[in-house]
Amino acid sequence: MRVVIDAMGGDNAPQEIVKGAVEAAKEFNLDIILVGREEEVKNEIKKYDTTGLNIEIVNATDIIENNESPTMAIRRKKDSSLVIAFKLLKEGKADALISAGSTGAILAGGIFLLGRIKGIDRAALTPVLPGKNGPFVIVDAGANADCKPNNLLQFAMMGEVYVNKVLGINTPKIALANIGSEEEKGNELTKQSFELIKNRINGFVGNIEGRDIPNGDVQVVVCDGFTGNMILKVYEGVAGTIFEILKKEIMSTLRSKIGGLLLKPVFKNFKRKFDYTEYGGAILLGVDGLVIKAHGSSNAKAFKNAIRQAKAAYDGGILDDIKEELLKINIE
Amino acid sequence: MRVVIDAMGGDNAPQEIVKGAVEAAKEFNLDIILVGREEEVKNEIKKYDTTGLNIEIVNATDIIENNESPTMAIRRKKDSSLVIAFKLLKEGKADALISAGSTGAILAGGIFLLGRIKGIDRAALTPVLPGKNGPFVIVDAGANADCKPNNLLQFAMMGEVYVNKVLGINTPKIALANIGSEEEKGNELTKQSFELIKNRINGFVGNIEGRDIPNGDVQVVVCDGFTGNMILKVYEGVAGTIFEILKKEIMSTLRSKIGGLLLKPVFKNFKRKFDYTEYGGAILLGVDGLVIKAHGSSNAKAFKNAIRQAKAAYDGGILDDIKEELLKINIE
């Protein structure tokens, strides 16, 4: 398998990106194409022993920044690392693309430079989140602020394929994010989507309320991108806030400092469990190629795990699976 | 001030409800009307010294359960404690109503039995949540699954009045829950609502993303009821899940048990800070009367705090304020 990497995307590029890529090349036996400013990337690679590894560098003079208009940047910055990486993927010179750069630009690149799978109406950003009883995905977590029921049906199907092949869950449970558990609850979108999904998706278990999402008993949470982004960010925000407050409180007295010291393994274990770096990145489902958006603040380990995810998606043949399943759920 | 209480609503009714009501009567110097099964309520009141308190009991033979269709129940169960309580409020025999019963039935009662303030198109459920830097409200947290921009404008105005008068924040910050901070971000609803709100609400500070909501730097989070309910429940769900996991981990080894013991004050302090019972209940803004929905699992303390909230809303004259502000933001 050949993986193309946007070496300049993310807060820790190119250092951590290159490091993660070199480690992935070794560990997963992959061919790597690093796209970025040649000198900078070369200087990073030099730091590691790459004997026997197949790592190619493709020069790209430009970089797309987080604060740029994604569509404009993708159209105009032809020499950016991200656009060149997309071109290589599109031309079949790579089997997957990974970037820790601007989410918007990766979405725009996926849709405009790569294109959607025939029959898929909308691409969906699909992050993996940690839950109490195991990880789960949200489809869509922000690519489409407004959706139609048919989009949600396709999200459900793609989520099912992905979770099955990449998280290795044979019979994943799929649920519709909603504000009540009964079928008739929700807004116009969820009511109509429930109707559509219930007879077409095998693993569909009905609605899931916000308070039950963190349990991780359901592996695919289906929703429009506005709702999904809100769930994702409140999820991260509340968890972050709680630990920030706890940390401050623990440092406030000698007694609590000692307590905190004794609980260090507990917090560490917990952090590991709730650590996004363990799960890699968010896949862009529905585009005609494997595209993974790694977390912007990815370190080498997180980036390596995002590459692992791409490999699992490739080995599982999820693009073919999605095309096949699409025929089954197709609605007139 | 005279407060009418649904003595039969909630998981701990009538025991904790009556207890909380008696305490409130004493502490806040209020007249109380308890509506419920006379014998049961009397038996509860007997437990306390009510000398000098003005507590009336109004008999109601029926109870609305949580699993009933709210609209049906409100229409048919004329002898239920909630319907009778609403009647007393409507007739001016009380100045506020508090119930820990079915949220749906309280909403339906507010809309059908009491009616909306003239000019307000939708009533909004408005709970108070704990944030890192202070409490904040969500308007709407579930009364309206589908909303129009004008509804959100009215929610923003009502939230501003409420937070000002009940939480005592002079110049509250009001923000639109959204999936990006820039004005042009979001779905159709938030884009149009932003336009509408920005020139009409003084304290409007723009969009707020999910990850920033827990900070509590913004005191009024405005959104449609679907989004608000999702935020509220993910908020509660993540916090609950984290503490559940931590508790289990702390009990797993001797070392962590000792650490947990030393951190007891920290956790207690934290719990108090993140405890809904401190903040009472959710007000139903937009109906022509003061209606507070207390948490279903309210104990006496939580219920007493919900009564305190009603008193603050009454003393602050929020109904008149809303009517007055409505004239200012009125759109053609």
**Given this model, what pLDDT does residue B276 score?**
63
**Given this model, what pLDDT does residue B330 score?**
76
**Given this model, what pLDDT does residue A276 score?**
63
Q: Is residue A146 part of a domain?
A: yes
Q: Is residue B55 part of a domain?
A: yes
Is A229 in contact with B261 (Cβ distance < 8 A)? no
What CA–CA distance (Å, rounded) separates A320 from B45?
69
- One pLDDT digit (tens) per residue for chain B, 332 residues: 999 999 999 999 999 999 999 999 999 999 999 999 999 999 999 999 999 999 999 999 999 998 899 999 999 999 999 999 999 999 999 999 999 999 999 999 999 999 999 999 999 999 999 999 999 999 999 999 999 999 999 999 999 999 999 999 999 999 999 999 888 899 999 999 999 999 899 999 999 999 999 999 999 999 999 999 999 999 999 988 988 888 998 999 999 999 999 999 988 888 777 766 667 799 999 999 999 999 999 999 999 999 999 999 999 999 999 999 999 887 64
**Given this model, what pLDDT does residue B302 score?**
92
Rg (CA), chain A: 20
Structural domain boundaries, residue B190: 127-279
What CA–CA distance (Å, rounded) separates A222 from A210?
12
**Given this model, what pLDDT does residue B331 score?**
61
Name the nearest CA neighbour of A191 among B230, B68, B145. Answer: B145
Shared-domain flag, residues A190 and A128 = yes
Shared-domain flag, residues A104 and A75 = yes
Shared-domain flag, residues A50 and A106 = yes
Is A234 in contact with B260 (Cβ distance < 8 A)? no
Helical pair A318-329 and A149-166, crossing angle rounded to 10 deg: 140
Is residue B313 within 8 A of residue B283, CB to CB? The reply is: yes
A71-to-A96, A106, B245 alpha-carbon distances in Å: 21, 10, 42
Residues of chain A with confidence (pLDDT) below 50: 332
HSE-up of residue A233 (Cα within 13 Å, Cβ side) = 23
Put simply, whether B112 touches A (Cβ < 8 Å) is: no
What CA–CA distance (Å, rounded) separates B329 from A58?
57
Shared-domain flag, residues B153 and B221 = yes
Neighbours of B50 (CB within 10 A): 14
Is A261 in contact with B259 (Cβ distance < 8 A)? yes
Put simply, whether B211 touches A (Cβ < 8 Å) is: yes
**Given this model, what pLDDT does residue B279 score?**
73
What residues of chain A lie within 8 A of the CB of B263, using their CB? Answer: 250, 256, 259-260, 263
CATH code (residue A268): 3.40.718.10
**Given this model, what pLDDT does residue A274 score?**
73
**Given this model, what pLDDT does residue A151 score?**
97
**Given this model, what pLDDT does residue B274 score?**
73
Shared-domain flag, residues B105 and B142 = no
**Paired tokens of B57:** 């009991």
Shared-domain flag, residues B271 and B295 = no
What residues of chain A lie within 8 A of the CB of B131, using their CB? Answer: 241
What residues of chain A lie within 8 A of the CB of B260, using their CB? Answer: 259, 263
Name the nearest CA neighbour of A291 among A132, A117, A173. Answer: A117
Q: Is residue B190 part of a domain?
A: yes
Q: Is residue B324 part of a domain?
A: no
Shared-domain flag, residues A40 and A54 = yes
**Given this model, what pLDDT does residue B277 score?**
64
Domain boundary among B279, B308, B324: B279
B273-to-A160, A249, B131, B267, B279 alpha-carbon distances in Å: 39, 12, 9, 10, 10
Q: Is residue A103 part of a domain?
A: yes
What residues of chain B lie within 8 A of the CB of A236, using their CB? Answer: 210-211
Is B255 in contact with A265 (Cβ distance < 8 A)? yes
Is A255 in contact with B239 (Cβ distance < 8 A)? no
Shared-domain flag, residues B79 and B213 = no
What CA–CA distance (Å, rounded) separates B227 from A88?
39
What CA–CA distance (Å, rounded) separates B157 from B119?
13
Overall domain count for chain B: 2
Which of B193, B238, B258, B272 has the highest number of chain A CBs within 10 A, making it the mutation to test binding with A? B238
Q: Is residue B53 part of a domain?
A: yes
The beta-carbon neighbor of A256 closest among B132, B210, B265 is B265
What is the interface pTM, i.e. ipTM, of the complex?
A: 0.93
Shared-domain flag, residues B91 and B186 = no
What CA–CA distance (Å, rounded) separates A214 from A200?
26
**Given this model, what pLDDT does residue A315 score?**
97
Q: Is residue A329 part of a domain?
A: no
Q: Is residue A326 part of a domain?
A: no
What residues of chain B lie within 8 A of the CB of A185, using their CB? Answer: 145
Shared-domain flag, residues A201 and A88 = no
Residues whose CB falls within 8 Å of the CB of residue B320, separated by 6 or more in sequence, listed in order? none
DSSP code for B63: -
Shared-domain flag, residues A234 and A310 = no
Is B179 in contact with A145 (Cβ distance < 8 A)? yes
Shared-domain flag, residues A266 and A308 = no
Neighbours of B83 (CB within 10 A): 23
Is A230 in contact with B244 (Cβ distance < 8 A)? no
